[in-house]
Amino acid sequence: MPEEVRTLRHPWRTVTDRVPHLTPELEREFRFGQRVARTERGFLMGGTIKGGSSSMWYPAGTEQFEAYLAWREVEGIVDRRDENAYAHLRDFLAVRGVDLQNGQRSGFPEGREGSGFNPELGIVYELTLGVLRALPESHVRRPQLRRVQLGGWGPDGAKASAYHNATVMMYDFAVRGARRTFLGLLLHELGHAHEHALGPAALAGLEAAYRPIAHADAFYALEFLLDPASRRRYQRLVFNEFLAETYLVYAACGQALRRFIDDQPAAVHAAWATAYALFRESFDGVEYE
C-alpha cells in the first residue's frame, strides 16, 4: 500500500503547531470536510451536510481563510488539474470493466452519463489509483465493483461515502476534506464490495469469529473522520461494518494488525486468527507490511 495509506495505523496527530492561525476547533472542522471560500460577500466557511447535496455556510474571516489554505497544503486535497492522473485511473479501471464517474455530473450512478474529467480532482485520481494498484487483481475485476464515483452524492443518508449497486461512491464530503479520511473511506467502501463478493462459507466463518471479538470489544479501530472509540462502536453494532473495517485494516495496517492479534487473550486470539486467515485467503494470499 502507498505510504500515506500506511500512516492510518498511527494516531492522527494535530498540526496546529505547523499551521498559522489553525486552532483545534478549526482543525476539527477542516478534517470533517468544512472549508473556507472567498466570495463577493466576503469569506464564508461551510460545506456539505453529512455528505449530501445540501450545504450550510456562515461568515468567516481572513485568519480562518489563511488557516484553511495552509492546512489544505498539509493534510487536505488541493485542487489540481491533472488530466494524466485522470486518464491513468480511467484506463486502469476500464480494462477491468469498471466505469469511472464524475459524481458532480450525475446524481445517481445508474448509467454512463456521469463519466468525465473533473479538473479539481487530480490528487484524488492519484490517491485512488495508488490504492487500487495495491489490491489483488481479483478485487478490482469482479461483478461487485462496476463503478467508482468521485464527487457528487448518493441515494441515501450516508455521511461521506457509500457502496450502492456495485458502485463505490465517494461524496463531495470525502473529496473535499482530509486525504487521510478519503483514503480510509475509499478502502472501507471497497470493503463493502468485498463483503458482497465473499462466499457463504467465508461469511459464516467470519460471523462465527466476530461473536467473541464483539463480546470482548476487541476491535482494531483507526482514526479518520471519526475517533477510534466511535469506529469501534460502529463495528460492534453491525457485522457488515466489521467486515468493511477489517478489509481496510488488513490492507492498511498489516504488520500492526498481526501484532494486535498476537497480543490478544486466547479466545479472542483464536477468533482473530480465524478472521485473519479468511481475509488472507480472500486476498489471494496477499499480505501487507
Please report whether residue 287 resides in a domain: no
The reply to whether 87 and 67 lie within a common domain is no
Q: Return left, alpha or beta for 97; rule: phi > 0 is left, psi -120 to 50 is alpha, else beta.
A: left
The reply to whether 87 and 164 lie within a common domain is yes
Q: What residues contact residue 16 under an 8 Å CB cut-off, 6+ apart?
A: 22, 23, 24, 27
Domain that holds residue 19: 3-74
Give how far Cα 271 sits from Cα of 14, 214, 249, 256, 276, Å: 34, 10, 16, 17, 9
In this predicted structure, the answer to whether residue 110 has a pLDDT above a threshold of 50 is no
Q: Which residue has the higher pLDDT, 78 or 103?
A: 78
The reply to whether 44 and 90 lie within a common domain is no
Residue 113's pLDDT is 42
Asked if 33 and 160 count as a contact pair (C-beta separation under 8 A), the reply is: yes
Average pLDDT over residues 157-171: 88
In this predicted structure, the answer to whether residue 101 has a pLDDT above a threshold of 60 is yes
Please report whether residue 190 resides in a domain: no
Please report whether residue 88 resides in a domain: yes
The reply to whether 106 and 67 lie within a common domain is no
Please report whether residue 186 resides in a domain: no
The reply to whether 218 and 267 lie within a common domain is yes
The reply to whether 94 and 163 lie within a common domain is yes
Residue 111's pLDDT is 40
The reply to whether 172 and 217 lie within a common domain is no
The reply to whether 169 and 208 lie within a common domain is no
Please report whether residue 64 resides in a domain: yes
Four-residue CA torsion sign, 183, 14, 228, 171 = negative
Q: What percent of the chain lies above the pLDDT cut of 70?
A: 93
pLDDT in tens, 204-259: 999 999 999 999 999 999 999 889 999 999 999 999 999 999 999 999 999 999 99
The reply to whether 173 and 91 lie within a common domain is yes
The reply to whether 234 and 169 lie within a common domain is no
The reply to whether 95 and 29 lie within a common domain is no
Please report whether residue 184 resides in a domain: no
- Domain end (from 29, 47, 74): 74
Q: Which of 113-117, 144-148, 267-271 bottoms out in mean pLDDT, i.e. has the lowest? A: 113-117
User: What total of structural domains would you count in the chain?
Assistant: 3
The reply to whether 90 and 142 lie within a common domain is yes
In this predicted structure, the answer to whether residue 123 has a pLDDT above a threshold of 60 is yes
Q: Which residue has the higher pLDDT, 98 or 113?
A: 98
Please report whether residue 289 resides in a domain: no
Residue 112's pLDDT is 43
Q: Which of 1-5, 107-111, 189-193, 203-207 bottoms out in mean pLDDT, i.e. has the lowest? A: 107-111
In this predicted structure, the answer to whether residue 107 has a pLDDT above a threshold of 50 is no
Task: Please name which of 79, 51, 187 lies closest in space to residue 128, comparing C-alpha atoms.
Answer: 187
Residue 52's pLDDT is 52
- As given in the structure block, the three cell numbers for residue 139 are 478485487
Please report whether residue 183 resides in a domain: no
Residue 278's pLDDT is 98
Q: Which residue has the higher pLDDT, 52 or 14?
A: 14
Tell me the CB-side half-sphere exposure of residue 148, using CA atoms within 13 A.
Answer: 28
Average pLDDT over residues 91-114: 73
In this predicted structure, the answer to whether residue 2 has a pLDDT above a threshold of 90 is yes
Q: Which residue has the higher pLDDT, 16 or 159?
A: 16
- Domain end (from 177, 210, 225): 177
pLDDT in tens, 6-44: 999 999 999 999 999 999 999 999 998 889 999 988 999
At 173, the pLDDT band (50, 70, 90 cuts) reads confident
- Domain end (from 24, 55, 74): 74
Task: Please name which of 34, 32, 33, 41 lies closest in space to residue 61, comparing C-alpha atoms.
Answer: 41
Q: Which of 71-80, 128-137, 244-253, 278-287 bottoms out in mean pLDDT, i.e. has the lowest? A: 71-80
